[in-house]
Structure 1
Amino acid sequence: MKHISPSKIVITLGDPAGVGAEVTLKALSAPGLPRASFLVMGDRVAVAGAEAVTGIRMGDLPVEFIDCGMLAKDEPVEVGRLRADYGAAAMRYVREATLMCLRGEADAMVTAPLNKEAVALGGIGFSGHTEYIAELCGAKESCMMLTSERLSVVHVSTHVSLRRAVELSKERIVRTIELGYEAMRNMGTERPRIAVCGLNPHAGEHGMFGTEDEAYIAPAVAACRDRAIDCEGPVPADTIFYKAARGSHDLVVAMYHDQGHIPMKLLDFEATVNTSLGLPIIRTSVDHGTAFDIAGKNMASGANMMAAIRLAVTMAAHRTPAPARG
C-alpha cells in the first residue's frame, strides 16, 4: 500500500561540528524542494551556528525542528572539532529518528554525516549508519546502496576489512541481489537490469586468478535468474561500470566497499545518495563525510542533501510490502 502524499520525512543533523546543519538548511531552502512534511532533529545550538554562516533561518523554512537537548545551550559548537559529546549527540539523533520511523510517526529518514571517530571516543562500537540502524530495527540482513540518476550500486559487504570482504557466501550474494532488485522497483524501475561484479581480476578468468567467482558468485546469479530476476555475472568489475553508466544496466552489485564506491563517486559525487536496504524503514543519506575542514565556512553544498531528500520522498511514495520469501 503506497503512502498518501505528502510523506513525513525526518532529517538528522549529524555531528554538530560538521557540515550537517549547513547542508540541511541549504537543501530545505532551495527551489524545487519535493512536496513532503519535514522534521529536523538535532540541537538548537548547532543550528544557530549554521544559521549565522549561511544566513538561512530554520524558523523561516517549512519544517518542524526537534531539539534533542544533547548539548549545552550556552556553549557555541566548536566546528571542525572531534569531541565525544558531539559523537554521542549525532548517535542520539539517529536513534530517535529510527524509532520515529518504526513507530510510524515518519515515513522515511534522511541522515547527515556523523564522525565514526567521534562516536568511538565515547566508547560506542560503531561501524556505520546502516549497521547501527539495522541493529535498532532488529534487521539481520542489511546492505548499502549508492544511487544516482545514471546508475545504482549495491554492496555485498561494506565496512569490514578487505580480508573479511573476500570471504564470500552464495546466500549473502543472493540476498544482496534480491534487496537491490526490490529497492530499484521501489524507486520506480519495473524490471531492473542487474550486473553482478566478479571478485577477482577479469572475474577469475575461469579459475586462473581465483575460484571465488565460479564457486560463489556464478551460483548466486543462477539462483536469482531462476527467480525471474534479470541479472548476469560474474562480470569483470573494471569494465562493467563503464558500460552500465552508459545504459547497459540499472544496477551493479559490487562485492566490497571500494569496488562500488570509487566508480560511483567518480561518476557523480554530488548527486550520489546512500540508501540502507533490508530494513523495515526507509533511510537515505548524503554520500559525503562531516567535512570538518570546511565546516562553519559556508562552503559546503546542499546538493547532495537535496538528492537524499528527493530519494527518500520517492521511496516513501513507491514503497510496497516486501514479497514473501519461501
Structure 2
Amino acid sequence: MNTIGITMGCPAGIGPEIILKFFADPTLSASLQPVVLGDAAVLERCAAELGIGCPPISDWQPGRPFTERTIPVLNLSQLPETEFSWGHPTMETGRAMAHYIETGVDLIQKNIIDGITTCPIAKTTLNSAGYDYPGHTEMLAHLTGTRDVVMMMAGTRLKVTLVTIHCALKTVPAMITSEAVNSLIDVTSNSLVRDFGIPAPKIAVAGLNPHAGEDALFGREERDIIRPAVEAAKRRTIDVSGPFPPDTVFYSAASGNYDAVVCMYHDQGLIPFKLLHFDDGVNVTLGLPIVRTSVDHGTAYDIAGKGVASHLSLAAAVNLADSICTNRKKFDSCPKQ
C-alpha cells in the first residue's frame, strides 16, 4: 500500500474543505493510505463551521502506524483563528502552505511516504511569504534539484502536455523549437509507459496554426519546426503522429485513438481538457524524481468557507498518485533489456 501525502494548500482557501469531503466520501477506497500534511486545528474548524460529517482527526507522526477510520494529520502549523478568515490569505498562511510542501518532499526523499498530492496555493501569497517561485511546480523543481519539468493534465478520456505554459500568447511562436517539441514528446512517451502503465503509447501532436498551417498557407511552424521534431521522434521508435489540426485532434484523442496530445500552448490544451474533465482533472508534474499530482483548480477564495467546493479533483489526484507510485515500482523492478 502506498502512502500519499496530501499537502493542505492555502489554509484560507478550499483546501481544508475538499480534504474533509474527500475523507468523508463513502466511496473512498480502503486500499488508499492518505495522510494530510497541514494544520489539524484548521481542519477541525472547517468541519465544525461547515457541518461536514467526516471521520475524526488523528495525530500522525512519521514512522507511526495509521489509526483506522480517522483523518491522519501531520500537524505542521498552528494558525490561530484570529490570524486569517476564509478567503483572506495572509503572510502566515503563505508560510504554512510552503512548509507543507517542503515537508512533503522531505518525507518522500526519506522514504517515509511514497508521493504527494497538492491542494491549491496562492502564488502571490507564496511570494509575500518570502518564497520566490511562480508556483508549485517551480518550487518542487528547486526542492528536488530538477531542471526540466513538464505539466501534464490527465483524465480518463484525455491527457495533454504543453510545450509552452504560462506566457503571453504573442510570445508562443518564438518559444516553439524542434528541440522543445522533441523533448516533450520524449517525456510524454516515457511517462505514459512508466507512470501510466501503457506499454506502447500512441501520441498525437497538435499544430500551432489553424488547419495545422494548411501547407504553410497560415504559417510555417508546422512545416519548419513541428513536423521535423515528429519525424525525429519516429526515428527513435516512438509512436507519434502529426502535426494535426487543433480543431480535430482532441476529438480523435478523446475517442481513444491516442493516449496523449502534445500541445503548443496553454489554452490550446486546457480548453478541451477542462471541457471534458472540469471536475475530475488532475495536474501531474512529469520529470520530477518524486511522484506529484495536484488538483486541477485554484484556491477559489471566492467560495472558501461556503461549503460548496467539490472534492472530485482531489479524489482523482490522490487515486492517480497512488496508481503512478504502483506503476513506477513495477516498471523500475522489471529487468531492462
Q: TM-score, normalised by structure 1?
A: 0.91
1:127 to 1:55, Cα distance in 2 relative to 1, 3 A: same
Partner of 1:48: 44
Alignment map for 1:4-153 (pairs within 5 Å)? 6-34=1-29, 35-52=31-48, 53=50, 54-56=52-54, 57-59=56-58, 61-69=69-77, 71-73=78-80, 75=82, 77-153=84-160
Partner of 2:61: none
Report if aligned partners of 1:45, 1:76 keep a CA contact under 8 Å in 2: no
Distance 1:33 1:277 in 2: 26
Distance 1:255 1:130 in 2: 19
Deviation of the 1:123 alpha carbon: 4.2
1:193-225 alpha-carbon deviations (Å, 9 max, x no partner) = 111111122222222222222222111111111
1:127 to 1:162, Cα distance in 2 relative to 1, 3 A: farther
Distance 2:70 2:178 in 1: 47
Q: Secondary structure at the match of 2:82?
A: coil
Q: Tell me which amino acid in the other structure corresponds to 2:45.
A: G
Moved more, 267-276 or 112-121: 112-121
Identify the match of residue 170 of structure 1 among 164, 178, 192: 178
Deviation of the 1:97 alpha carbon: 0.6
Q: Give ranges in structure 1 of 5+ residues lacking alignment.
A: 1-5
2:163 equivalent to 1:156:
yes
Report if aligned partners of 1:39, 1:66 keep a CA contact under 8 Å in 2: yes
Deviation of the 1:154 alpha carbon: 1.0
Distance 1:131 1:160 in 2: 15
Q: Secondary structure at the match of 1:318?
A: helix
Q: Tell me which amino acid in the other structure corresponds to 1:28.
A: F
Moved more, 236-245 or 156-165: 156-165
Q: Tell me which amino acid in the other structure corresponds to 1:299.
A: V
1:215 to 1:85, Cα distance in 2 relative to 1, 3 A: farther
Deviation of the 1:74 alpha carbon: 5.4
RMSD between aligned alpha carbons? Answer: 2.0
2:283 equivalent to 1:287:
no
1:292 to 1:322, Cα distance in 2 relative to 1, 3 A: farther
1:144-202 alpha-carbon deviations (Å, 9 max, x no partner) = 00111111111112223334433112222112112211222221222111111111222
Partner of 2:326: 317
Q: Secondary structure at the match of 1:75?
A: helix
Identify the match of residue 240 of structure 2 among 231, 245, 262: 231
Distance 2:172 2:109 in 1: 30
Deviation of the 1:62 alpha carbon: 4.0
Distance 1:169 1:298 in 2: 45
1:322 to 1:265, Cα distance in 2 relative to 1, 3 A: farther
Deviation of the 1:254 alpha carbon: 0.9
1:259-285 alpha-carbon deviations (Å, 9 max, x no partner) = 111110011211111100001011001
Deviation of the 1:321 alpha carbon: 4.0
Q: Secondary structure at the match of 1:86?
A: helix
Moved more, 30-39 or 183-192: 30-39
Q: Secondary structure at the match of 2:41?
A: helix
Alignment map for 1:265-280 (pairs within 5 Å)? 265-280=274-289
Q: Secondary structure at the match of 1:261?
A: helix
Distance 1:243 1:232 in 2: 12
Partner of 2:226: 217
Q: Tell me which amino acid in the other structure corresponds to 2:57.
A: M
Report if aligned partners of 2:97, 2:121 keep a CA contact under 8 Å in 1: yes
Distance 1:130 1:119 in 2: 13
Moved more, 237-246 or 306-315: 237-246
Identify the match of residue 194 of structure 1 among 199, 203, 226: 203
Distance 2:116 2:169 in 1: 30
Count of matched residue pairs: 317
Moved more, 276-285 or 120-129: 120-129
Distance 1:196 1:176 in 2: 10
Distance 1:87 1:309 in 2: 23
Distance 1:158 1:114 in 2: 18
